[in-house]
Protein backbone atom coordinates (compact mmCIF):
# COMPACT_ATOMS: atom_id res chain seq x y z
CA UNK A 1 0.00 0.00 0.00
CA UNK A 2 1.24 3.47 -0.92
CA UNK A 3 1.00 6.17 1.76
CA UNK A 4 0.22 9.61 0.32
CA UNK A 5 2.18 12.49 1.81
CA UNK A 6 4.68 10.12 3.43
CA UNK A 7 8.08 8.63 2.66
CA UNK A 8 7.60 5.20 1.03
CA UNK A 9 10.03 2.39 0.23
CA UNK A 10 9.00 1.21 -3.25
CA UNK A 11 10.46 -1.23 -5.76
CA UNK A 12 11.54 -0.06 -9.23
CA UNK A 13 9.34 -2.08 -11.59
CA UNK A 14 10.39 -0.89 -15.06
CA UNK A 15 11.81 1.95 -17.14
CA UNK A 16 9.48 4.14 -19.20
CA UNK A 17 10.39 6.68 -21.89
CA UNK A 18 9.85 9.56 -19.45
CA UNK A 19 10.52 7.99 -16.07
CA UNK A 20 10.01 4.83 -14.06
CA UNK A 21 7.13 2.73 -12.80
CA UNK A 22 7.39 1.91 -9.08
CA UNK A 23 5.36 -0.60 -7.09
CA UNK A 24 4.72 -1.07 -3.37
CA UNK A 25 6.30 -3.94 -1.44
CA UNK A 26 3.04 -5.94 -1.52
CA UNK A 27 2.88 -5.63 -5.33
CA UNK A 28 -0.59 -4.06 -5.28
CA UNK A 29 -0.17 -0.38 -6.26
CA UNK A 30 1.98 1.31 -8.89
CA UNK A 31 3.22 4.93 -8.93
CA UNK A 32 4.96 6.97 -11.62
CA UNK A 33 8.40 8.46 -10.94
CA UNK A 34 9.25 11.22 -13.49
CA UNK A 35 12.80 11.06 -14.80
CA UNK A 36 13.46 14.59 -13.49
CA UNK A 37 12.78 13.35 -9.95
CA UNK A 38 14.78 10.12 -10.22
CA UNK A 39 18.39 9.59 -9.06
CA UNK A 40 21.17 9.40 -11.65
CA UNK A 41 21.76 5.73 -10.83
CA UNK A 42 18.70 3.53 -10.50
CA UNK A 43 18.41 -0.27 -10.55
CA UNK A 44 15.42 -2.13 -11.97
CA UNK A 45 14.19 -4.42 -9.19
CA UNK A 46 15.89 -2.34 -6.52
CA UNK A 47 14.24 -0.43 -3.67
CA UNK A 48 13.89 3.35 -3.69
CA UNK A 49 12.88 5.75 -0.94
CA UNK A 50 10.40 8.29 -2.36
CA UNK A 51 7.84 10.88 -1.29
CA UNK A 52 4.34 10.39 -2.76
CA UNK A 53 1.89 13.18 -3.61
CA UNK A 54 -1.05 13.70 -6.01
CA UNK A 55 -0.47 16.01 -9.01
CA UNK A 56 -2.99 18.62 -10.20
CA UNK A 57 -4.99 15.88 -11.97
CA UNK A 58 -5.06 13.73 -8.85
CA UNK A 59 -2.60 11.15 -10.19
CA UNK A 60 0.01 9.93 -7.71
CA UNK A 61 3.58 11.02 -8.39
CA UNK A 62 6.80 9.88 -6.71
CA UNK A 63 9.90 11.98 -6.12
CA UNK A 64 13.25 11.27 -4.48
CA UNK A 65 13.23 14.89 -3.30
CA UNK A 66 12.55 14.97 0.44
CA UNK A 67 10.05 17.50 1.85
CA UNK A 68 10.70 19.53 4.99
CA UNK A 69 7.76 17.73 6.61
CA UNK A 70 5.34 14.91 5.80
CA UNK A 71 1.59 14.70 6.45
CA UNK A 72 0.96 15.07 10.16
CA UNK A 73 4.24 16.91 10.77
CA UNK A 74 5.21 20.54 11.33
CA UNK A 75 7.85 22.70 9.65
CA UNK A 76 8.94 26.32 9.51
CA UNK A 77 8.20 27.20 5.87
CA UNK A 78 8.72 30.32 3.76
CA UNK A 79 6.01 31.93 1.61
CA UNK A 80 7.03 32.01 -2.07
CA UNK A 81 3.78 33.23 -3.69
CA UNK A 82 0.47 34.71 -2.56
CA UNK A 83 -2.80 34.40 -4.51
CA UNK A 84 -6.38 35.35 -3.67
CA UNK A 85 -7.25 31.73 -2.84
CA UNK A 86 -4.20 31.07 -0.72
CA UNK A 87 -0.41 31.08 -0.46
CA UNK A 88 2.28 28.73 -1.70
CA UNK A 89 5.13 27.76 0.62
CA UNK A 90 8.53 26.30 -0.19
CA UNK A 91 8.03 22.67 0.81
CA UNK A 92 11.51 21.36 0.05
CA UNK A 93 10.43 19.67 -3.20
CA UNK A 94 9.69 20.99 -6.69
CA UNK A 95 5.95 21.20 -5.90
CA UNK A 96 5.14 24.03 -3.48
CA UNK A 97 2.69 23.50 -0.61
CA UNK A 98 -0.62 25.37 -0.80
CA UNK A 99 -1.98 26.89 2.40
CA UNK A 100 -5.54 27.95 1.43
CA UNK A 101 -6.83 31.30 2.64
CA UNK A 102 -9.26 29.63 5.05
CA UNK A 103 -6.36 27.66 6.58
CA UNK A 104 -4.36 30.77 7.46
CA UNK A 105 -4.60 31.94 11.07
CA UNK A 106 -3.42 35.35 9.90
CA UNK A 107 -3.07 36.43 6.27
CA UNK A 108 0.47 35.65 5.18
CA UNK A 109 2.72 37.78 3.01
CA UNK A 110 5.49 36.90 0.53
CA UNK A 111 8.86 35.80 2.00
CA UNK A 112 7.51 35.48 5.55
CA UNK A 113 8.23 32.28 7.45
CA UNK A 114 5.41 30.55 9.31
CA UNK A 115 4.91 27.42 11.37
CA UNK A 116 2.90 25.08 9.14
CA UNK A 117 1.33 21.67 9.64
CA UNK A 118 1.13 19.44 6.58
CA UNK A 119 -2.33 17.89 6.14
CA UNK A 120 -4.12 15.50 3.78
CA UNK A 121 -7.68 16.01 2.58
CA UNK A 122 -9.98 13.05 3.19
CA UNK A 123 -11.27 11.49 0.00
CA UNK A 124 -9.06 13.26 -2.52
CA UNK A 125 -5.71 12.70 -0.81
CA UNK A 126 -4.82 16.31 -1.67
CA UNK A 127 -1.92 17.63 0.40
CA UNK A 128 -2.22 21.12 1.87
CA UNK A 129 -0.86 23.15 4.76
CA UNK A 130 -2.44 25.02 7.64
CA UNK A 131 -1.25 27.62 10.13
CA UNK A 132 -4.34 27.00 12.30
CA UNK A 133 -2.61 24.64 14.70
CA UNK A 134 -4.76 24.65 17.85
CA UNK A 135 -6.84 21.53 17.23
CA UNK A 136 -3.80 19.52 16.16
CA UNK A 137 -1.73 20.56 19.18
CA UNK A 138 -4.53 19.70 21.60
CA UNK A 139 -4.98 16.31 19.92
CA UNK A 140 -1.29 15.35 20.03
CA UNK A 141 -0.62 11.63 20.38
CA UNK A 142 2.76 11.55 22.06
CA UNK A 143 5.45 8.95 21.38
CA UNK A 144 7.97 10.73 23.61
CA UNK A 145 8.44 10.79 27.38
CA UNK A 146 9.93 13.17 29.92
CA UNK A 147 13.72 12.98 29.83
CA UNK A 148 13.89 11.83 26.19
CA UNK A 149 16.44 13.42 23.89
CA UNK A 150 14.72 15.06 20.91
CA UNK A 151 15.52 17.16 17.87
CA UNK A 152 14.05 20.66 17.83
CA UNK A 153 13.81 23.48 15.33
CA UNK A 154 13.42 27.04 16.60
CA UNK A 155 10.18 28.36 15.07
CA UNK A 156 9.75 31.81 16.60
CA UNK A 157 10.69 34.05 19.51
CA UNK A 158 8.10 35.04 22.11
CA UNK A 159 8.08 37.00 25.36
CA UNK A 160 8.43 33.73 27.28
CA UNK A 161 11.22 32.28 25.17
CA UNK A 162 11.19 30.37 21.89
CA UNK A 163 8.48 28.29 20.26
CA UNK A 164 9.97 25.09 18.85
CA UNK A 165 9.07 22.10 16.69
CA UNK A 166 9.88 18.82 18.46
CA UNK A 167 10.85 15.84 16.26
CA UNK A 168 8.76 17.49 13.51
CA UNK A 169 5.66 16.08 15.28
CA UNK A 170 4.93 18.35 18.25
CA UNK A 171 5.00 22.00 19.29
CA UNK A 172 6.86 23.09 22.39
CA UNK A 173 8.65 25.86 24.24
CA UNK A 174 12.10 26.65 25.52
CA UNK A 175 11.76 29.29 28.22
CA UNK A 176 13.96 32.37 28.23
CA UNK A 177 15.12 31.90 31.82
CA UNK A 178 16.26 28.35 30.97
CA UNK A 179 18.15 29.18 27.77
CA UNK A 180 21.86 29.46 28.47
CA UNK A 181 23.17 29.58 24.90
CA UNK A 182 22.33 31.58 21.81
CA UNK A 183 19.63 30.01 19.64
CA UNK A 184 18.54 31.21 16.20
CA UNK A 185 15.13 30.94 14.53
CA UNK A 186 15.26 28.25 11.84
CA UNK A 187 18.21 26.39 13.34
CA UNK A 188 17.98 22.88 14.74
CA UNK A 189 19.34 21.66 18.09
CA UNK A 190 19.27 18.64 20.35
CA UNK A 191 17.17 19.07 23.48
CA UNK A 192 15.53 17.13 26.30
CA UNK A 193 11.85 16.79 27.20
CA UNK A 194 11.11 18.48 30.52
CA UNK A 195 7.34 18.15 30.62
CA UNK A 196 4.48 16.98 28.42
CA UNK A 197 1.63 19.34 29.14
CA UNK A 198 -2.10 18.63 29.22
CA UNK A 199 -2.70 21.31 26.56
CA UNK A 200 -0.63 19.32 24.03
CA UNK A 201 2.54 21.41 24.23
CA UNK A 202 5.98 20.12 25.20
CA UNK A 203 8.38 21.98 27.49
CA UNK A 204 11.97 21.26 26.48
CA UNK A 205 15.43 22.28 27.65
CA UNK A 206 18.78 22.35 25.89
CA UNK A 207 20.44 20.83 28.95
CA UNK A 208 19.80 17.32 30.20
CA UNK A 209 17.89 17.35 33.45
CA UNK A 210 18.79 15.86 36.83
CA UNK A 211 22.09 14.40 37.98
CA UNK A 212 23.42 13.95 34.42
CA UNK A 213 23.21 17.72 33.93
CA UNK A 214 25.19 18.29 37.14
CA UNK A 215 27.89 15.79 36.10
CA UNK A 216 28.24 17.53 32.72
CA UNK A 217 28.28 20.94 34.41
CA UNK A 218 31.07 19.85 36.76
CA UNK A 219 33.18 18.94 33.72
CA UNK A 220 32.42 22.32 32.12
CA UNK A 221 33.56 24.17 35.25
CA UNK A 222 36.74 22.11 35.60
CA UNK A 223 37.61 22.66 31.94
CA UNK A 224 36.91 26.40 32.28
CA UNK A 225 39.23 26.65 35.29
CA UNK A 226 42.03 24.71 33.56
CA UNK A 227 41.80 27.03 30.54
CA UNK A 228 41.94 30.12 32.75
CA UNK A 229 44.99 29.44 34.91
CA UNK A 230 43.19 27.37 37.51
CA UNK A 231 40.99 30.09 39.02
CA UNK A 232 37.95 32.25 38.34
CA UNK A 233 36.25 35.22 39.97
CA UNK A 234 32.91 33.40 39.59
CA UNK A 235 31.41 32.25 42.89
CA UNK A 236 28.02 31.55 44.45
CA UNK A 237 27.29 35.30 44.77
CA UNK A 238 27.99 36.02 41.08
CA UNK A 239 25.10 37.29 38.96
CA UNK A 240 23.10 34.76 36.89
CA UNK A 241 24.05 36.76 33.78
CA UNK A 242 27.80 36.39 34.43
CA UNK A 243 27.46 32.66 35.06
CA UNK A 244 25.35 32.23 31.93
CA UNK A 245 27.79 34.25 29.78
CA UNK A 246 30.93 32.44 30.97
CA UNK A 247 29.67 28.91 31.50
CA UNK A 248 26.34 28.59 29.66
CA UNK A 249 24.46 27.29 32.71
CA UNK A 250 22.01 28.55 35.30
CA UNK A 251 23.14 29.93 38.66
CA UNK A 252 21.28 27.10 40.38
CA UNK A 253 23.21 24.48 38.41
CA UNK A 254 26.48 26.34 38.99
CA UNK A 255 26.00 26.47 42.76
CA UNK A 256 25.11 22.76 42.98
CA UNK A 257 28.04 21.83 40.74
CA UNK A 258 30.70 23.79 42.65
CA UNK A 259 29.28 22.34 45.87
CA UNK A 260 29.87 18.85 44.47
CA UNK A 261 33.36 19.79 43.25
CA UNK A 262 34.22 21.23 46.67
CA UNK A 263 32.95 18.08 48.38
CA UNK A 264 35.11 16.00 46.01
CA UNK A 265 38.09 18.19 47.01
CA UNK A 266 38.65 19.29 43.41
CA UNK A 267 38.21 23.04 43.98
CA UNK A 268 38.51 25.64 46.72
CA UNK A 269 35.85 28.31 47.29
CA UNK A 270 36.60 31.71 48.84
CA UNK A 271 35.36 35.30 48.72
CA UNK A 272 37.41 35.97 45.57
CA UNK A 273 35.99 33.09 43.55
CA UNK A 274 36.87 29.46 42.95
CA UNK A 275 40.12 27.73 42.07
CA UNK A 276 41.45 24.27 41.42
CA UNK A 277 43.26 22.58 44.26
CA UNK A 278 46.96 22.27 43.52
CA UNK A 279 46.88 18.54 42.77
CA UNK A 280 44.32 19.03 39.96
CA UNK A 281 46.03 21.82 38.03
Name the stretches of the chain with pLDDT < 70: 180, 208-215, 279-281
pLDDT of residue 211: 47
pLDDT of residue 275: 83
Q: Torsion angle of alpha carbons 186, 187, 190, 195, nearest 10°?
A: -30
pTM: 0.76
pLDDT of residue 82: 97
- Which overall architecture, per CATH, does domain 7-63 show? Beta Barrel (2.40)
Write the class of the CATH domain 211-280: mainly alpha
Which string of DSSP letters, residue by residue, matches 86-113? EEEE--SSSSPEEEEGGG-SS---TT-E
The domain spans of the chain are 7-63, 74-132, 145-205, 211-280
Sort strands 30-34 and 161-166 into parallel, antiparallel or unpaired. Answer: unpaired
pLDDT of residue 215: 58
pLDDT of residue 221: 82
Give the fold, CATH level 3, of 74-132: OB fold (Dihydrolipoamide Acetyltransferase, E2P) (2.40.50)
pLDDT of residue 262: 81
Say whether 74-132 and 7-63 share the same fold. Answer: yes
Q: Is 116 exposed, middle or buried (0-12, 13-18, 19+ CB in 10 A)?
A: buried
**CATH tag, 145-205:** 2.40.50.140
The Cβ of residue 176 has, within 10 Å, a number of other Cβ atoms equal to: 12
pLDDT of residue 150: 94
Amino acid sequence: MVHIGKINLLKVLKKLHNGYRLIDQEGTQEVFLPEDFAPLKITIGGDLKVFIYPDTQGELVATTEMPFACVGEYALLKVVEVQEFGAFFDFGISKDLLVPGNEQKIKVRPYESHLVRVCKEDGTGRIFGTTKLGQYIQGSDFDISEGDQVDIQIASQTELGHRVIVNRKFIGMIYKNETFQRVLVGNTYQAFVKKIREDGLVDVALQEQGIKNLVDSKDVILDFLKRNGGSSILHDKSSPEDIKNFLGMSKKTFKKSIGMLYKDKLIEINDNGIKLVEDNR
